[in-house]
Amino acid sequence: MSAVDLAEISVRELNQRLHDLAPGANETEWTISNPRGRHAIAVGLDAPANLHIDGHVGYYCGGMNKQASIQIDGNAGQGLAENIMSGTVHCTGNASQSAGASGHGGLVVVEGDASSRCGISMKGVDIVVGGSIGHFSAFMAQAGHLVVCGDAGDGLGDSIYEAFIYVGGNVGSLGADCIEKEMTDAHRQTLAELLAKAGIEDDITRFRRFGSARELYNFNIDNAGNY
Amino acid sequence: MVDERKLKRSETFPPETIAEIQRAADEGIYSIRGSGAKRRVPNFDDLILLGASMSRYPLEGYREACETNVTIGARNAKKPIELDIPITIAGMSFGALGANAKKALGLAATMMGTSTTTGDGGMTDEEREASKILVYQYLPSRYGMQPDQLRRADAIEIVVGQGAKPGGGGMLLGQKITERVANMRILPEGIDQRSACRHPDFTGPDDLQIKIQELREITDWQIPIYIKIGASRTRYDVMLAVKAGADAIVLDGMQGGTAASQDVFIEDVGIPTLPALRQAVEALQELDLHREIQLIVSGGIRTGADVAKALAMGADAVSLGMASLMALNCNAPIYIEDYEALGTKPGYCHHCHTGRCPVGVTTQDPELEARLDPEEGARRVRNYLTTLTLECQTLARACGKSHVHNLEPEDLAALTIEAAAMAGVPLAGTDWIPGHNGG
Ligand code: SF4
């Protein structure tokens, strides 16, 4: 177990130590105290380490994560786990805007609310939000799953490509080319698995599914007003 | 019989404007094209170098050395970029360009000791292998953005804007979204790709400052971080880029090219390279960071004279996009029937968006791409870069400079009042700089 106190060492030193982890190193369990909202904590990891961050983090915590499992006991600032490739970033509190932005893989969990632009430009990541998300979420979402147990704000899934969105509560409004889609048993199965992976319990029968109408994929004059 | 002399051409509605109105009426959408602004704007042709005579001493043309090297990004990075020549290859994506074109540019840049740049969609192995110094673009779409690629890069270029379309997002039409391009970008094959104009996880310069901190952390402060802006409110944009923490600023004027954008964007948004460069240099000087933070300028650089003039105005390096493609035979008078099939002619082509490039540069079609041999292409681009370097050195020596960076505004004069005002150098034969000293 490595215990790092960010009141004692800098984020730079912490990240360097995490980047220097040799493949197969024993040092897999880390606790990080006193994050105090600092930015870029535990970014660019590429090792199967388990990090436990005790407190609130600033922008981009867990950014571009590969392999590592990062738990934040607190709230997270903007761009939580942006461009995550694999592994897990789990925040027990609320997250600011652009959580999971452009993530390619792995799992991002926000137990509380996430703000606007959650899952923007997502490219394969799975994002599970226990609370609600703000406007413009899943904008241009290309692949992966966004699960929202609470409500979603306006413009959900605007210009969405092939990502899947599941919402348990209300949707403010749908963005261009995003429509409600049929919820089949296979979809319910996927949803149940995602909730289980995230450790969040919910009634899956409440959820509705949203995805792309695929009408903006190739330009058509009749849709010009939606671009 | 029509008497031709009596036909009165309308300057408001010349034939090309009438054709555009009728095209719009037919199609109901803006026209999309490749290449850069075609309208005439004040440019480096409107400046001349003064050379040496009685009051200045020239260097001996073939004997006295005139250095050309430049270091970029030594401010924060442990491994700054060391270029042998102040001429780089601008960001162009695999997708917009074919693999052969990317490889040719990489090989040529490597032979010349300079850098090349990725584009939307990420880095290909071929271009990494071909390019000794490779700058990795970090774009709003984040298509193909992978941390492993970031770690393999020699510098990161955060693209905030592009000269051809400041404020606009990217576009790649379905013809070019082949299987490989689609896979790299995680998109359905054959769709008309739209890309965002804003980054997904930062908005203003304050956020960008933290984004730069994140990128530095991820790359362990090893490599420089550039910010690329399209020329518009250049003075303010440069100051904000500095505040955000850029090691170098890439400034792309409105003549800069694009793979596909709305014609109205290309022609009607942004300011020319000439005034933008002056504003950028002044902004850096005001902050006392000129030469400390490097300025790389692009948009309409074609000749060694353009390079010399840009450096004299205060750029640290220039970057070539369209011109490097022309060295690869873009718009060359070969395969003429294929230009005609696109409705154009050599010299007028701007059809990169179609994916049917007659000379195999901006295409993913294997048959067309085979027209560009990467080794032969690399040789052509190397020759072209060599020529630019020799021209620039010749001019610098004639101005008495032992390094091309010793060229200065003092070595320049303008041929037009517009260029004098924009470049901030005197109208030739006068001391008059419009807008200076109340003039
Ligand atoms: S020749 Fe090819 S690269 Fe050049 S403008 Fe035409 S399509 Fe574009």
Q: A146: pLDDT confidence band, cut at 50, 70 and 90?
A: very high
Output the six-digit token pair for B201: 């996880």
Least confident of B82-91, B173-182, B212-221, B359-368: B173-182
Give, as one character, the DSSP assignment of residue B255. Answer: T
- pLDDT digits 0-9 by tens, B329-357: 999 999 999 999 999 999 999 999 999 99
Angstrom distance (rounded) from CA A76 to CA A70: 12
H helices present in A10-75, as ranges: 11-19
**How many angstroms is it from B100 CA to the middle of ligand 1?**
14
Angstrom distance (rounded) from CA B126 to CA B437: 54
Contact A97, A115 (CB under 8 A): yes
Between B176 and A191, residue with greater pLDDT: A191
Compute the radius of gyration of chain B from its Cα atoms. 22
Compute the radius of gyration of chain A from its Cα atoms. 18
Angstrom distance (rounded) from CA A87 to CA A108: 9
For B275-323, strand residue ranges (E) read: 294-298, 317-320
Closest approach atom of ligand 1 to CA B351:
7
Position A210: which residue type? F
- Calculate ∠ Cα B200-B205-B208, nearest 5°: 50
Least confident of A20-29, A30-39, B259-268: A20-29
Contact B35, B350 (CB under 8 A): yes
Say whether residue A75 is in contact with chain B using an 8 A CB cutoff: no
Contact A146, A191 (CB under 8 A): no
**Environment class of B415 (CB within 10 Å of its CB; exposed 0-12, middle 13-18, buried 19+):** middle
Mutation to probe ligand 1, out of B263, B322, B325, B329 (largest number of atoms < 8 A from CB): B325
Exposure string for A115-130, b = 16+ CB within 10 A, e = fewer: bbbbbbbbbbbbbbbb
Q: A47: pLDDT confidence band, cut at 50, 70 and 90?
A: very high
B171 pLDDT exceeds 80? no
Among protein residues, the one whose CA lies closest to atom 8 of ligand 1: B352
This model of the complex carries an ipTM of 0.96
Angstrom distance (rounded) from CA A160 to CA A175: 8
- Calculate ∠ Cα A161-A163-A165, nearest 5°: 125
pLDDT given at position A227: 62
A23 pLDDT exceeds 80? no
pLDDT given at position A225: 66
Residues 6+ apart with CB under 8 A from A209: A164, A165, A166, A180, A181, A182, A183, A187
Strand partners, A167: A148, A208
Q: A224: pLDDT confidence band, cut at 50, 70 and 90?
A: low
Strand partners, A3: A31
Angstrom distance (rounded) from CA B357 to CA A114: 45
Mean pLDDT of B103-132: 96
User: How remote is the C-alpha of A157 from its chain's centroid?
Assistant: 15
Kindly list the residues of chain B whose beta carbon comes within 8 Å of any beta carbon in chain A: 27-29, 141-142, 145-148, 150-151, 174, 185-188, 190-192, 194-196, 200-202, 207, 210-211, 213-214, 217-221
Q: B54: pLDDT confidence band, cut at 50, 70 and 90?
A: confident
Output the six-digit token pair for A2: 């490595």
Strand partners, A30: A2, A51
A222 pLDDT exceeds 90? no
Percent of chain B with pLDDT over 90: 85
Mean pLDDT of the residues in chain B: 95
pLDDT given at position B438: 73
Between B76 and A227, residue with greater pLDDT: B76
Q: Count Cβ atoms below 10 Å from residue B435 Cβ, excluding itself.
A: 11
B222 pLDDT exceeds 90? yes
Around B377, how many Cα atoms within 13 Å sit in the side-chain half-sphere? 27
**How many angstroms is it from B349 CA to the middle of ligand 1?**
6
A78 pLDDT exceeds 80? yes
Angstrom distance (rounded) from CA A191 to CA B96: 38
Mean pLDDT of B127-147: 96
Q: Which domains does chain A have, with CATH numbers?
A: 2-226 (2.160.20.60)
CB contact under 8 Å between B207 and A123, yes or no, is: no
Mean pLDDT of B55-77: 91
A20 pLDDT exceeds 90? yes
Interface of A with B in 173-202 (CB under 8 A): none
CB contact under 8 Å between B201 and A19, yes or no, is: no
**How many angstroms is it from B171 CA to the middle of ligand 1?**
16
Mean pLDDT of B19-48: 94
Give, as one character, the DSSP assignment of residue A116. Answer: T
Q: B176: pLDDT confidence band, cut at 50, 70 and 90?
A: confident
Going from the C-alpha of B292 to that of each of B40, B212, B247, B296, B416, the distances in angstroms are: 33, 18, 8, 12, 32
- The closest alpha carbon to B157, from B124, B135, B127, B132, belongs to B135
Name the pairing type of β-strands B81-83 and B248-252.
unpaired
Q: B20: pLDDT confidence band, cut at 50, 70 and 90?
A: very high
Output the six-digit token pair for A88: 């897990």
Q: Would you say domain B45-328+372-423 falls under CATH 3.90.1300.10?
A: no
Mean pLDDT of A172-181: 97
Strand partners, B360: none
Mean pLDDT of A155-183: 97
For B73-127, strand residue ranges (E) read: 81-83, 87-89, 115-117
3-state secondary structure string across B46-84: HEEECCCCCCCCCCCCCCCCCECCEEECCCCCCCCEEEC
Residue A143 phi/psi, 5-degree rounding, is: -160, 165
H helices present in B232-272, as ranges: 234-244, 263-268
Residue B414 is inside which H or E element, if any?
Answer: strand B412-414
A181 pLDDT exceeds 70? yes
Angstrom distance (rounded) from CA B300 to CA B44: 9
Residue with tokens 């010399």: B308
Mean pLDDT of A132-152: 97
pLDDT given at position B253: 97
Among protein residues, the one whose CA lies closest to atom 4 of ligand 1: B330
Residue count of chain A, please give it: 227
For A139-184, strand residue ranges (E) read: 143-148, 164-167, 178-181
Around B152, how many Cα atoms within 13 Å sit in the side-chain half-sphere? 17
Percent of chain B with pLDDT over 70: 100
The domain limits of chain B are 45-328+372-423, 336-370
Angstrom distance (rounded) from CA B365 to CA B349: 18
pLDDT given at position A164: 98
Chain B nearest-CA residue for A227? B194
Mean pLDDT of B125-135: 95
